[in-house]
Chain A
Amino acid sequence: MRLRLRGWIGDDDGISFPKACILTPMGFKEDFPDLEQQNYPSLLPGTYTLTSDCTDDYNCVAWAADDDSTCWWPWEGYFWPPGVTFEESLAAFTEAFATLGYEQCPDGDLEPGWEKVVIFAKGSEPKHVARQIESGAWTSKLGGSRDIEHELEAVSGPYYGKPALFLKRLRRL
């Protein structure tokens, strides 16, 4: 659990280090002032680590595809790999990642030497994509908010639905 310094206790004698300090657990609202906890019921302290500030420069699909300067989505004005079906479906998202060498796999278990992505969906509509890092944790860009490392199911909920499809490719050096 990450802690945040709330203040200092001690004599005001000009000593520049603390004699004692108060530490309190960081809350969801402090980590994600632009998000509502109710949309991420499983994103609890201890299930994630913040890895970036808020930015609109890229979205979750781009981040999963290792691109931090573009927003990917099958919508006019957004990047979508040329030749890939232009629709919001698991099949189209699978095609998009196939252009990067990914193929479908049964689960998100860590396999040394392989890099995985997971597509979260509500029904058959893709809502989010996350990428597995070498430790076995997952990295996600939460909309226009921050990047986090998290447990697979930590971002499941009303916004992103649940893991619907796993893809993998040989990890690149």
Chain B
Amino acid sequence: MNEVVSWKDERKRILKSAPAHVGRGPWARETREVLGCRLAEHRKLARKAPKGSLGGSQGAFAKQTSIAPVAPMEEQFLRLVDEWRSGIGGVSSATQIILHPAYQAIIGLGPDAIPLVLRELTRRPAHWNWALRALTNQNPVPAEAAGNLRAIASAWLDWGRRRHLIS
């Protein structure tokens, strides 16, 4: 059974799980745009829903089987990773890499994204340290590993294995 949620609830969930800086700072507009795209998808789904299938005057929802589910978290995550990678292809600046709207939107996915980010780390050590710190509020990386993406990935993967978040 697929659970269909209204865009309003989804918006609340996104904003609740977003890091404190979402909505503020120079990159806020881009981040809102990315989140806005996701909300637009929900509105589109709600419009396509069979009449009467959604409860409430705002299209607020019920548990339904008749409407296509919203994009699962994993699909959303992979789309954002693709968008991020293609957006930072030759960028050297760590600031630009981390403040890329898609990267910020991944942080906005909230704690459910942690296993997905860890799995991504097993595929390719990349700039996930900042996202994982924001998502977990923890920092298992020793100071001497600063800048060494392989050592950083290894520290996070150990952290994830100890918590059974990855195998």
Interface residues of A (CB under 8 A from B): 32, 34-36, 39-40, 56-57, 59-62, 69-73, 75-80, 88, 125-129, 141-145, 159-160
Contact = CB atoms under 8 A, between A and B. Distances in A.
A60 B94 CA distance: 11
Interface stretch (B33-41, B106-114, B142-150): B142-150
Contacts of A129: 92
Contacts of A72: 147
B159 to A, nearest CB: 14
Interface of B: 85-86, 88-95, 97-98, 124-127, 129-130, 133, 141, 146-150, 152
B92 A88 contact: no
Nearest to A63: B92
A10 B147 CA distance: 52
Contact of B86 (A34, A73, A75, A141): A34
A145 B90 CA distance: 6
14 contacts: A35-B89, A39-B90, A56-B126, A73-B147, A75-B94, A76-B130, A77-B133, A77-B141, A79-B147, A80-B146, A129-B92, A144-B90, A145-B89, A145-B90
B94 A144 contact: no
A129 B90 CA distance: 12
A143 B90 contact: yes
B90 A40 contact: yes
Contacts of B150: 57, 69
Contact of A143 (B92, B146, B147): B92
Contacts of B148: 69-71, 79
A144 B129 contact: no
Given A77-B133, A77-B146, A78-B146, A59 B92 contact: yes
Contacts of A88: 93, 95
B91 A159 contact: yes
A90 to B, nearest CB: 13
Contacts of A35: 89-90
